Structure 1
Amino acid sequence: MQDQEKMHEQTEQANQAAQNPQAAQTSEAPASDNGASQAQAAASPQQNASLEEKLAATEAKLAELQDAFLRAKADTENIRRRAQEDIAKAHKFAIENFAEALVPVKDSLEMALKLETPAVESLKEGVEMTLKQLSAAFERNRLIEINPVAGEKLDPMKHQAISMVPAEQDANTIVSVLQKGYTIADRLLRPALVTVAQ
């Protein structure tokens, strides 16, 4: 008899659960939700602390990178400014060394002109000394003369042929030099003027 009553109660509960499944779920849900919300509440302070630490570390790293960027930018700006100053000085004083080397040549020429009645020999000697000073000034400043010898092959990069003359040597070779040429630091300043064999 008791077994029948128990079965009857269980049947009624099953029927009620089938008719109203949401009620059965909600009666069980609060217990499970309560457990989850308690677990979240317990985990939340730890997660917040961890996130705050990560945020602080990221902000510190950002500040460090920003400082490094600003320093690098300032260094680059200083280097650029110094380079511009150096270029401006190089343009302004480019011929300073050459001018310095030419001053003694001018002094020698002025002294030669001060002599009222110079002897031919002393005049010649003075001109030779002045020419030596000038040649030394050219050499110090890498101003090299182009003075090809007869028979040398014509080089259009260094020589300029003024005329072609009949000669007993190979064609396109130099016969005579009418005017010396010059290079400065391996760059052609003036080509040598030459006559060339036909």
Structure 2
Amino acid sequence: MESESVMAEEEKDPETEIEEVLEETETLEDWQDRALRAQAEMQNMRKRLDSDVEERTRARTEALLTEVVTILDHFELALNAMPEGLEKDEESGPFAQGVRAIHLSLEMLLARFGVQSVNPKPEDVFDPTIHEAIQTLEKDGLESPQIEKIRTGYKMGNRILRPAQVNIIKPASSDEEPA
């Protein structure tokens, strides 16, 4: 019995053996290709996941820092409303100094996250990417348009957290008709 199977193997045609080897090689190559594709797909999925996590983290950080900016605004309003010399007053001085210290701490916190203020100057040209126009006014005696800061803007890197709010002041138009 054993000798019959040995003889059957010995009697195999060499061409048949070559075909079997080629088929097995094709099957092996097919499985290797599938494995490489699965590995590449896994790497792409991992990259997409990392990118999604990074984007969500950035968006949440920006949202939080925008809230901090709003709180900073309130402290700026409080500081601007304080009467001059209040910090030297014996009774109210410590309170005023505390408000100033909190304001400074918030500014330092924002700076640690790379947040910069956008403080337009009157001679700056209005830029809708960093400025938000609140109103347009006319003023006599101006040679060229100017902007007036209403509220500080903030940016983080090249992304605007909040545009600076400004009034656009244009030279007054002369509506007088020549006689």
Higher relative contact order (CA 8 A, sep 6+): 2
* Secondary structure, counterpart of 1:152 in structure 2: coil
Q: Distance in 2 between matches of 1:136 and 1:69?
A: 55
Aligned to 1:34: none
The structure having more radius of gyration, on CA atoms, is 1
Is the Cα contact below 8 Å between 1:151 and 1:173 reproduced in 2? yes
Q: Which amino acid aligns with 1:178?
A: I
TM-score by length of 1: 0.53
Q: Distance in 1 between matches of 2:169 and 2:64?
A: 39
Q: Which runs of 5+ in 1 are unaligned?
A: 1-47, 110-117
Q: Tell me the matched-pair count.
A: 135
Q: Which runs of 5+ in 2 are unaligned?
A: 1-12, 76-89, 171-179
Is the Cα contact below 8 Å between 1:171 and 1:196 reproduced in 2? no
TM-score by length of 2: 0.58
Aligned to 2:158: 186
The offset of 1:67, in angstroms, is 2.3
CA deviations on 1:17-46 (whole Å, 9 max, x unpaired) are xxxxxxxxxxxxxxxxxxxxxxxxxxxxxx
Of 138, 147, 153, the match for 1:165: 138
Of 78, 82, 95, the match for 1:123: 95
CA deviations on 1:87-133 (whole Å, 9 max, x unpaired) are 56446644369869x7xx9xxx9xxxxxxxx9422222222222222
Cα RMSD (Å)? 3.3
More helix by percentage: 1
Identity among equivalent positions (%) equals 19
The offset of 1:71, in angstroms, is 1.4
* Secondary structure, counterpart of 2:122 in structure 1: coil
